[in-house]
Amino acid sequence: MQAATRMADGQWPWRDFGWAYGPGEPLVVMAALKAFGPSLLWWRLLRVAADATVALLVWALVRDERPRWALPAWAAAAVTAAQPVSANPAGPALAFALAAVLLASRRHPAWAGAAAAAAGFWRPDVGAAAALAAAATAALAAREDTRGGRRPALVALGAAVLVGAVLYLPFSIAAGPGAVWGRARRPGHA
């Protein structure tokens, strides 16, 4: 909420204040604050939507491999997601990461890479893991095809890098790439 409020006031993460995550969550919360007014409700609704999406994606992934276990997997994911958690943006990042793996398993490597980049826009560490998982899943799915090859894995990775670069571009311009990726600290910016 504080990052969203600061961004609504014209400040940029990494340039005007330190930020350990990607800018996705504060941007969405900022848009909700501007559209509907200040309230913690918008952050909670975002979190509930992300948790519900995670449970649904777990169900879809398990259903493809072990249909009898899909409903118990959904229930386990839903109960786990319902636990009180901190305000870090792991929920939406996990939803995008699971979407990346599901898309890769269904032979949509470019969309899988885009979903991994979205995960990285919320949490860069989760986005990197999602890109690798999507590439591995795309490669395994391609092995089952007659075409096979490494191309789907490279498409997933390439899309993740390209979409991620586009998403982070305004922040890299405003703060400098070194500040965004933790290589440079500006004195006096907390």
Residue 183, SS3?
coil
What's the pTM value of the predicted model, to 2 decimals?
A: 0.87
Q: What is the pLDDT of residues 53-83, one digit of tens each?
A: 999 999 999 998 899 999 999 999 888 877 7
Q: Which residues pair with 13 in a beta bridge?
A: 17
Q: What is the pLDDT of residues 133-162, one digit of tens each?
A: 999 999 998 887 656 668 999 999 999 999
Tell me the angle at which helices 151-175 and 124-144 cross, rounded to the nearest 10 degrees: 160
